[in-house]
Amino acid sequence: MIYREAGQFKSTYVEDQAVFPILQDRIFVLVAIVVAFLVPLVANEYWLQAVLIPFLIFSLAAIGLNLLTGYAGQLSLGTGAFMAVGAYATYKLSTGFPDLNLIVVFLLAGLVTAAVGIVFGLPSLRIKGFYLAVATLAAQFFILWLFNKVGWFYNNNPSGTIQAPPRFVLGFMVSGPAATASARYVLALAVLVVFGVAAKNIVRGRIGRSWMAIRDMDIAAEIMGIRPLQTKLMAFAVSSFYCGVAGAMMIFLWLGSTDTLAFDINLSFEVLFMVIIGGLGSILGSIMGAAFIVLVPIFLTNAPDLVGLHIPTALEQNAEAIVFGAMIIYFLIVEPNGFARLWQIAKEKLRRWPFPY
Amino acid sequence: MHVLMSVLVQPFLDIASSPEFFLEVVIGGLLTGVMYSLVALGFVLIFKASGVFNFAQGSMVLFAALTLVGLMEHGVPEWLALALSLVVMVALAYLIERWMLRPLVNQEPIILFMATIGLDYVLQGSGQIAWGSNVKALDVGIPDKSFTLHGVLLNQFDLVAAVVAAVLVVALALFFQKTSIGRALRAVADDHQAALSVGIPLKTIWVVVWSVAGFVGLVAGIMWGAKSGVQFSLALIALKALPVLILGGFTSVPGAIVGGLIIGVGEKIAEVYWGPYVGGAIENWFAYMLAMVFLFFRPQGLFGERIIERI
């Protein structure tokens, strides 16, 4: 009843090709974004810092990986390393040029990560699937080792960590120990919205279509005139750009200070989970997957207390791992196409509701 | 210039100046390689028969070793603990087939891969809940003594490990070549549908192959555990098995062995001779880099079938 596109006629091509052609979708997305920007007014520090900011950052990383794995079909286990490149590049740029606007620094760090991504994407020209995963694993271990061993990357800091220096965007302090969670949240959200819309448009356009063509059948795509070299490297570059910005946000807007441990192989797997559970080849799915993976561990940690059970921490951690793993298996069995598919089904149902016949 | 010198020339001079030490390094590497091979073997078995890239193999190693140690700590005699662990691994294989593989049949490889990562979490969690998460010593009664042979330092335990690996490979080869189940396994590996059409029960085969992988995991777990204690890090060697598989080929049992040996030796040599010049701890990534370079020249691995999709 509320979700029907009947009567919405398109009279121009521009209207017909809009990102959200249905009016209700546009309203929904706009309302969601406005509500998201108003959240700091009601949410407390804990929610922003422990739940919402990581959710935004992981959403961006998941979108980045989804562009590569979901749209271009190249499996990558090096997401953590690419995020680390973004984080360390931001740190170096920001400490080297303190007057540079943080947004510009983020973008430059993204470009640096894109360059690194291209280098490690080169094997994808000859190999794919799990073989490619091993090549990206090489990136994962090598890059983190490099950041640990070469003091230049962390300014020879004796603790070996990188710290986000205090920086301002539009007069608000958004990083450093004194920045409020609200300011950091709003900046992270703004970045996610801009990059999310950009991603949505990239995948609808020529580039995104060439990625999907390569993913579905590379030989056919090549015969149609899509150059595999440029297309795949472009996918690696754009994906790494997103992951790099996400990594930069991770240290500047969320953790504040960190070392390479935060970017280890588990991070790569987590982001991959988000992409798979959210749905391969879906921007909205990436965001929903990120929400799921961020929220479930928090829920599992707090659930026993809520029902009045008190179990030892070690047991709880292991139980958490079991439930988490089992949920992933269960989810893959029930809906291998992820949240994006569930969302699609829900929309189909909603269209006919409440008179299905 | 100095850097180039120390990377390109100096290590070779070091090698030439003391060949005995070099031999020791190589043998040490070979013996580490045997351990890698044992883990990689489990991967290959499952990949061959069900096309699943089993990320949880490392956790199966940990789980098997934890079960064995846990039982022995509770005063169960050694042989009985061994048998019980084996029973546990077979039961595990059955559960995996029933609850994970059967509902996921015909899904994309990446979905199955993700499911095995989920399984990885489950096994690590349940293994540690059941038997605790502290490091456990596993004593299998093999003395960890060193002796010299023609001026080369050798370790008795490592030699036993090598012999065990060799016996295991021969036993597996016989199992695959001579028994009817082994033939069925190979048939399934070659072509699922053809195997089904001549009456080979796919479900049973999967249980069998996951059980065999569990058994290999148990052996690997005993060996690693006896060497460096049964602990969480056992699960991480799964990642090291990846480059081994790239080198040896995803579908080849001898490949897993040879690949493991090459990675083991290469890693040790790189660490001992090149490590000091670039800051050390290069063992962490050397294997992956080696595999990556290898991929460019021989993507199907040393012994793998040429099924890799070329681009």
> For B229-255, how does the pLDDT look when each residue is reduced to its tens digit (9 = 90+)?
777 777 677 778 888 888 887 777 778
Q: What is the mean pLDDT of residues B51-75?
A: 84
For residue B123, list chain A residues with Cβ-Cβ distance below 8 A. Answer: 325
For residue A327, list chain B residues with Cβ-Cβ distance below 8 A. Answer: 118
| Predicted local confidence at residue B220, as pLDDT | 85
Full pLDDT tens readout for chain A, 357 residues: 677 777 788 888 888 888 888 888 888 889 999 998 888 888 888 888 888 999 999 999 999 999 999 899 888 888 999 999 999 999 999 888 888 888 899 999 999 999 999 988 888 877 777 778 877 888 888 898 888 888 888 888 777 788 888 888 887 777 777 778 888 899 999 999 999 999 999 999 999 999 999 988 888 999 999 998 899 999 999 999 999 999 999 988 888 888 888 888 888 988 988 898 888 888 999 999 999 988 888 888 777 777 766 667 777 778 888 888 888 888 888 888 888 888 888 888 888 877 776
Cβ-defined contact of B129 to A315 (cutoff 8 Å): yes
For residue A336, list chain B residues with Cβ-Cβ distance below 8 A. Answer: 104, 107-108, 111
User: Residue B311, class by beta-carbon neighbours within 10 Å (0-12 exposed, 13-18 middle, 19+ buried)?
Assistant: middle
pTM of the model: 0.87
For residue B278, list chain A residues with Cβ-Cβ distance below 8 A. Answer: 149
Q: Which of B113, B278, B292 to mutate to test the interface with A (most CBs of A within 10 A)?
A: B292
| Predicted local confidence at residue B311, as pLDDT | 42
A142 SS3 class = helix
Q: Are B140 and B226 in contact (CB under 8 A)?
A: yes
Residues paired with B146 in a beta bridge:
B155
Cβ-defined contact of A325 to B118 (cutoff 8 Å): yes
Cβ-defined contact of A138 to B292 (cutoff 8 Å): yes
Ramachandran angles phi, psi of A295, nearest 5°: -80, -35
**What does B186-225 look like in DSSP terms, one character per residue?**
HHHHH-HHHHHHTT--HHHHHHHHHHHHHHHHHHHHHHHH
Q: Which of B96, B271, B278, B285 to mutate to test the interface with A (most CBs of A within 10 A)?
A: B285
The C-alpha of B282 sits at a distance from chain A's nearest C-alpha, in angstroms, of 8
Which chain B residue's Cα is nearest to A135?
Answer: B292
| Predicted local confidence at residue A113, as pLDDT | 95
Domains and CATH numbers, chain A: 19-352 (1.10.3470)
Q: Helix B19-50 crosses helix B10-17 at what angle (to 10 degrees)?
A: 110
Q: Which of A137, A319, A329 sits opposite B129 (nearest CB)?
A: A319
Spatial neighbors of A63 by CB under 8 A, at least 6 apart, are: A195, A196, A199, A242, A283, A286, A287
Q: Does residue B16 sit at the A interface (CB-CB below 8 Å)?
A: no
Cβ-defined contact of A130 to B125 (cutoff 8 Å): no
Spatial separation of the C-alpha atoms in residues A284 and A69, rounded to whole Å: 15
Q: How many CB pairs under 8 A join A and B?
A: 134
| Predicted local confidence at residue B150, as pLDDT | 67
| Predicted local confidence at residue B142, as pLDDT | 63
Cβ-defined contact of B292 to A135 (cutoff 8 Å): yes
Residue A282 burial (CB count, 10 A)? 24
Cβ-defined contact of A149 to B53 (cutoff 8 Å): no
Q: Which of B44, B114, B277 to mutate to test the interface with A (most CBs of A within 10 A)?
A: B114
Q: Are B109 and A276 in contact (CB under 8 A)?
A: no
| Predicted local confidence at residue A348, as pLDDT | 85
For residue A269, list chain B residues with Cβ-Cβ distance below 8 A. Answer: 117
Ramachandran angles phi, psi of B5, nearest 5°: -55, -50
Q: Does residue B120 sit at the A interface (CB-CB below 8 Å)?
A: yes
**Is residue B126 left, alpha or beta, with left meaning phi > 0 and alpha meaning psi from -120 to 50?**
alpha
Nearest in space to A249 (alpha carbons), one of A29, A51, A59, A45:
A59
Which chain B residue's Cα is nearest to A77?
Answer: B239
For residue A231, list chain B residues with Cβ-Cβ distance below 8 A. Answer: none
Cβ-defined contact of B107 to A332 (cutoff 8 Å): yes
Cβ-defined contact of A329 to B99 (cutoff 8 Å): yes
Which chain B residue's Cα is nearest to A272?
Answer: B114
Question: Which pLDDT tens digit goes with each residue over B145-162?
Answer: 666 666 666 677 777 777
Q: Are A188 and A253 in contact (CB under 8 A)?
A: yes
A357 SS3 class = coil
Cβ-defined contact of B118 to A145 (cutoff 8 Å): no
Tokens of A5: 């596109």
Q: Does residue B110 sit at the A interface (CB-CB below 8 Å)?
A: yes
The C-alpha of A126 sits at a distance from chain B's nearest C-alpha, in angstroms, of 6
Q: Which of A332, A334, A335, A337 to mutate to test the interface with B (most CBs of B within 10 A)?
A: A332
Q: What is the amino acid identity at position B53?
A: F
| Predicted local confidence at residue A114, as pLDDT | 95
Share of chain B above pLDDT 70, in %: 86
The C-alpha of B149 sits at a distance from chain A's nearest C-alpha, in angstroms, of 37
The C-alpha of A246 sits at a distance from chain B's nearest C-alpha, in angstroms, of 23
Nearest in space to B54 (alpha carbons), one of B96, B7, B14:
B96
Question: Which pLDDT tens digit goes with each residue over B259-275?
Answer: 888 888 888 888 888 77
Q: How far is CA A127 from CA A74, A345, B70, B295, in A?
A: 10, 35, 43, 8
Cβ-defined contact of B281 to A332 (cutoff 8 Å): no
Question: Which pLDDT tens digit goes with each residue over B163-209?
Answer: 887 888 888 888 888 888 888 888 887 777 888 888 888 888 888 88
Q: What is the amino acid identity at position B276?
A: P
For residue B105, list chain A residues with Cβ-Cβ distance below 8 A. Answer: none
Which chain B residue's Cα is nearest to A320?
Answer: B125
For residue B232, list chain A residues with Cβ-Cβ distance below 8 A. Answer: none
| Predicted local confidence at residue A115, as pLDDT | 95
Average pLDDT, chain B: 79
Q: Provide Rg for chain B, Cα atoms.
A: 20
For residue B280, list chain A residues with Cβ-Cβ distance below 8 A. Answer: 149
Which chain A residue's Cα is nearest to B51?
Answer: A130
Which chain B residue's Cα is nearest to A338?
Answer: B111
The C-alpha of B76 sits at a distance from chain A's nearest C-alpha, in angstroms, of 24
pLDDT tops 60 at residue B307: no
For residue A218, list chain B residues with Cβ-Cβ distance below 8 A. Answer: 311
- pLDDT band at residue B310, thresholds of 50, 70 and 90? very low
Spatial separation of the C-alpha atoms in residues B254 and B231, rounded to whole Å: 28
Q: Do strands B146-149 and A167-169 pair parallel, antiparallel, or not at all (unpaired)?
A: unpaired
Can you tell me the ipTM of this complex?
A: 0.80
Q: How far is CA A262 from CA A57, A109, A162, A239, B259, in A?
A: 14, 18, 11, 20, 31
For residue A272, list chain B residues with Cβ-Cβ distance below 8 A. Answer: 114
Q: Which of A228, A314, A336 sits opposite B111 (nearest CB)?
A: A336
Q: Are A78 and A137 in contact (CB under 8 A)?
A: yes
Ramachandran angles phi, psi of A288, nearest 5°: -65, -40
Q: Which of B118, B299, B311 sits opposite A328 (nearest CB)?
A: B118
